[in-house]
């Protein structure tokens, strides 16, 4: 979620709404995003959980709740959904207009790349959406694999397009195969054994016989061998970090525009945002600098290229009422002009200047207090605030 947090920060948005699947995948993703945003002094304003088997009614109810919220930046973190139901409902609720921003994790790219050419019209429902896609560096192995896959499509053996998950699945099989080969050179064969009954949890009455499940003998050795994998695959260099996570090649930043998936840049831990692939930047001697952080032009919802502010005054928002004393002395600090009733002064100038630094509009109204002949009683003013 570092890339998503950086994307939010890069565009200057302070708060987001997250729509996620209420399972381990969804909750862990939201937790990671929340931590990354807090590190940047940003936050998730609202978390909207969808049940694992969500339907259109549940989506409608959930999205309708957000119409009274101020943030208009949505982050969607769910499993691949070929029907794109969240966006279909968002269209019906008029939530795909220029005041909204929809960001998606890599599930959308995996979904869209699996569409057959006949289903490309479905891209219209996500027009203006911005997302992340696992970056697959260009290589001879990748091109050869894509060529073989297209040949299988023509022969009717494969009926879907390739996505990043497909590349990773292919490399996963090879990683396991290489590891088994190395394992057999040390242990000669693979054996399984029954668990120690003392280690098996109590499962009586629930129809599960865990005591009869066999385990991979020397399985820890195999895991260690697998974690030391280091080879060139179709998805790039396959290598694991010290915490046994795959070292990522980064992400493509994609924008759906004119029913096409347009890559507008790249992101990696080392180079941040760039219009140059991370593997190319990695060969350069100069480190990342903030001025280099850029993406190509993005077409947002509504066809606009200007970056949305990501915040609106909610439907039920009340204006901020600001008490202004009609003072008899020190009027240079704050006063009300008798002829025009305009409120002005040093304090007002500071207030108006402070508003310029807030990335959203705040409705407000000045409420004069006192008669201008004597300074108002501030204790009485505070009591009025408490009464209202």
If asked whether residues 206 and 283 sit together in one domain, one would say no
pLDDT at 171 over 80: yes
Lowest-confidence pick of 67-76, 283-292, 324-333: 283-292
191 in the same domain as 117: no
On whether both 304 and 329 belong to a single domain, the answer is no
What is the pLDDT at residue 151?
Answer: 93
Residue 265 belongs to domain spanning: 1-135+250-314
% the chain with pLDDT above 70: 88
Distances (CA, A) of 103 to 16, 176, 338, 354, 375: 10, 34, 50, 29, 52
209 with 257, same domain? no
At 291, is the pLDDT very low, low, confident or very high (cuts 50, 70, 90)?
Answer: very low
Domain count, the chain: 3
In the predicted structure, residue 315 carries a pLDDT above the cut 70: no
What sign results for the dihedral spanned by CA atoms 379, 380, 381, 384? positive
Residues 198 and 275 in one domain: no
The tokens for 362 are 């705040």
CATH of the domain at 203: 3.40.50.2300
Residues 87 and 2 in one domain: yes
User: Last residue of some domain: 314, 338, 364?
Assistant: 314
pLDDT digits (tens, 9 = 90+) for 92-129: 999 999 999 999 998 888 777 766 555 566 788 899 99
Which residue did the predictor score with more confidence, 385 or 307? Answer: 307
pLDDT in tens, 338-380: 777 788 888 889 988 888 777 666 778 888 887 777 777 778 7
Show which of 268, 291, 314 is a domain's final residue: 314
- Mean pLDDT across 304-331: 78
Distance, CA of 27 to CA of 33 (rounded, Å): 10
Same domain, residue pair 89 and 32: yes
What are residue 274's phi and psi, to 5 degrees?
A: -160, 160
Q: What is the pLDDT of residues 134-163, one digit of tens each?
A: 999 999 999 999 999 999 989 988 877 788
Same domain, 166 and 308: no
Q: Are residues 240 and 373 in the same domain?
A: no
Name the residue with higher pLDDT: 179 or 195.
179
Tell me the Ramachandran region of residue 304: left when phi exceeds 0, alpha when psi lies from -120 to 50, beta otherwise: beta
Let me know whether 228 and 265 are in one domain. Answer: no
Strand intervals (E) in 71-189: 73-77, 101-104, 130-134
């Amino acid at each position: 979620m570092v890339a998503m947090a950086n994307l939010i920060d890069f565009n200057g948005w302070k708060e987001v709404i997250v729509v996620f699947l209420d399972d381990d995948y969804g909750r862990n993703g939201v937790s990671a995003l929340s931590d990354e945003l807090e590190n940047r002094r940003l936050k998730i304003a609202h978390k909207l959980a969808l049940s694992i088997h969500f339907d259109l009614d549940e989506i409608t109810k959930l999205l309708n709740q957000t119409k009274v919220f101020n943030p208009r930046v949505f982050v969607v973190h769910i499993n691949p959904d070929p029907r794109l139901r969240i966006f279909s409902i968002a269209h019906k609720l008029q939530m795909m207009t220029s005041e909204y921003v929809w960001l998606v994790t890599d599930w959308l790219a995996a979904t869209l790349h699996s569409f057959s050419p006949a289903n490309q019209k479905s891209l219209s429902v996500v027009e203006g959406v911005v997302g992340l896609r696992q970056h697959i560096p260009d290589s001879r192995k990748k091109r050869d694999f894509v060529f073989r896959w297209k040949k299988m499509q023509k022969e009717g053996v494969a009926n879907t397009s390739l996505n990043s998950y497909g590349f990773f699945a292919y490399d996963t099989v090879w990683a396991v195969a290489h590891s088994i080969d190395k394992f057999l050179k040390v242990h000669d064969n693979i054996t399984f054994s029954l668990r120690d009954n003392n280690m098996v949890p109590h499962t009586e009455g629930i129809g599960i016989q865990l005591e009869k499940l066999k385990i991979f003998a020397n399985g820890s050795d195999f895991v260690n061998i697998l974690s030391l994998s280091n080879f060139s695959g179709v998805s790039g260099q396959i290598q694991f970090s010290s915490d046994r996570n795959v070292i990522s090649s980064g992400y493509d930043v994609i924008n759906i525009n004119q029913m096409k998936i347009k890559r507008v840049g790249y992101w990696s831990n080392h180079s941040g945002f760039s219009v140059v692939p991370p593997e190319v930047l990695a060969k350069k001697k100069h480190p990342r600098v903030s001025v280099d952080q850029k993406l190509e032009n993005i077409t947002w919802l509504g066809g606009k290229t200007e970056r949305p502010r990501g915040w609106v005054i909610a439907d039920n928002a009340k204006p901020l009422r600001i008490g202004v004393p009609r003072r008899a002395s020190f009027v240079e600090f704050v006063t009300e002009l008798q002829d025009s009733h305009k409120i002005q002064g040093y304090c007002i100038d500071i207030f108006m200047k402070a508003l310029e630094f807030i990335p959203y509009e705040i409705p407000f109204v000045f409420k004069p207090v006192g008669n201008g002949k004597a300074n108002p009683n501030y204790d009485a003013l505070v009591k009025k605030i408490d009464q209202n």
